[in-house]
Amino acid sequence: MTVTVRFAPSPTGRIHIGNARTALFNWLFAQKHRGRFIQRFDDTDVARSKQEYADSILYDLHWLGIFQDATEYQSKRFDHYDAAVERLKAAGVLYPCYETPEELDLRRKVRRTRGLPPVYGREALALTSAQIAEYEGDGRRPHWRFLLPNFVSDPLEPMRTEIRWNDLVRGEETVDLASVSDPVLVREDGTYLYTLPSVVDDIDMGISHVIRGDDHVTNTGVQIALFQALGAVPPGFGHHNLLTTVSGEGLSKRTGSLSIQGLREDGIEAMAVASLAVLIGTSESVHAMPTMAELADHFDPAATSKSAAKFDPDELLVLNRALLHHLAFADARDRLGVLGIGGERAEPFWNAVRGNLDRLSDAAQWWKIVNEGPQETPELSDEDRDFVRVAFDLLPEDPWDAGVWKAWTAKVRKMTERKGKALFMPLRLALTGLSSGPELADLLPLMGREGTLARRP
């Protein structure tokens, strides 16, 4: 059997890091098993689904390094769902219901007061032809529920019926079908809810494993029953923990919470996002993986905790720094070129500054400093200004090489008797305008003697 997985968001907004977690779990699982990854858009909600969101989701996934073997749209497959509905009706497991939302709410409240679980009582199964005719005469249209197989002979007498599966993440899982309502598969207006199209597509597309958030655990019991009602062997299931903010709030793609687009525009590296999205909330320590191949080697769905994974966006910057600090010039060259950083000095410049960058775009600031001097007038005391002027008078002659900083500071130390911070900080401020940054021993050869002299206060 070829491992085949899918990522199936509804294209109603931009995906966030929590959605990316699900996509990555599926894609990495496929990579480890040399399987297939299907990008499926659950766009049956025609009013809210937009192609621009589907396009943005694909763009975000490609940026992360996730590439699909096929792309499918549910909106193009209604004939498949219609056929499944007729099969279920013919089998007697899809039945019409005429209750209004208000009536259903009242029934749930009554069941609670009686100490019963607030599930649908299947009252629609007892409707007579006359009652149905009366409802339809009043303009009511039915919604259609799937009759769960949780009874022996009388559906009005449900009994405990366990659906079991060995979850890829959570281990042995059980759902009692008597504890949940018969799910509505078709609305009054004939449109489909999530459950039926998802199961039909998983069957038709040969999905071998469904990996998703643990908010779907209960749904899985219902869906396994629906797979079986349609004559199909259910796929394997895995339910990973959800990502929340530090305060415990959930994420929403419609509010743009930590969207992949926003993180990308903020200068966060794709592998920082992928590393955090996959490794947080697992037994694996969260650290920056430089490539997807290495992340796949570390990926183990069974190592995921059952509790929600809280994360701090500041962790992304920590991972970002780690990635940039080890990023080879060959891998950064094109992106640096976009920032106007090129020529024969570009590689030694990159090697000099990468260890001090939070974001790759920060290199542009250091390129300006190297070529133009401090971007703001350094704040030096009168005493330090006098010291710097003396120091500049002691600059070595050309040619400059990697040892020029050491030679220069040795002369300055001997002449002024300054050392340590009292010597280095005024020189750093004069040369860069900043109190911290890359090693001056690496920057000085890039500045050149004339460029350095131009910074004399």
Instruction: Give pLDDT, residue 257.
Output: 57
pLDDT, one tens digit per residue, over 255-308 is 455 899 999 999 999 999 999 999 998 888 899 999 999 999 989 999 999 888
Instruction: Provide CB contacts within 8 A for 290, sequence distance 6+.
Output: 271, 323, 326
Amino acid, single-letter form, for residue 334: D
- The whole-number pLDDT of residue 309 equals 85
Specify the pLDDT at position 258. 81
Share of the chain above pLDDT 70, in %: 99
Judged on CB neighbours under 10 Å (0-12, 13-18, 19+), 205 is middle
Q: What is the pLDDT of residues 381-432, one digit of tens each?
A: 999 999 999 999 999 998 889 999 999 999 999 999 999 999 999 999 999 9
Choice between 23 and 253, residue whose per-residue pLDDT is larger = 23
Q: What is the pLDDT of residue 46?
A: 85
Peptide bond into 348 cis (omega under 30): no
Residues 6+ apart with CB under 8 A from 171: 302
Question: Each residue of 35-56: pLDDT tens digit?
Answer: 999 999 999 988 899 999 999 9
Task: List pLDDT tens digits, range 100-126.
Answer: 999 999 999 998 998 888 999 999 999
Sequence-separated (6 or more) residues with CB below 8 Å from residue 6 = 26, 37, 38, 39, 40, 201, 202, 205, 207, 210
241 in Cβ contact with 214 (< 8 Å): yes
pLDDT at 166: 97
Cβ-based neighbours of 454, under 8 Å, separated by 6 or more:
373
Contact (Cβ atoms closer than 8 angstroms) between residue 145 and residue 123: no
Place of tokens 């969207």: 259
**Distance of alpha carbon 302 from the chain centroid:** 19
pLDDT of residue 253: 52
Residue type, 196: L
* DSSP H helices in 192-309: 195-204, 217-229, 260-265, 270-279, 292-298
Closest to 97 in 3D by CA, of 123, 130, 129, 117: 123
- Strand-pairing partners, residue 97, are 143
pLDDT of residue 256: 57
Task: For tokens 């590296």, name the residue.
Answer: 269
Mean pLDDT score across all residues of the chain: 94
The pLDDT of residue 336 is: 98
d(CA 167, CA 235): 11
Q: How far apart are CA 305 and CA 309, in angstroms?
A: 8
pTM: 0.90
Q: Of the candidates 20, 13, 9, which has an alpha carbon nearest to the alpha carbon of residue 256?
A: 13
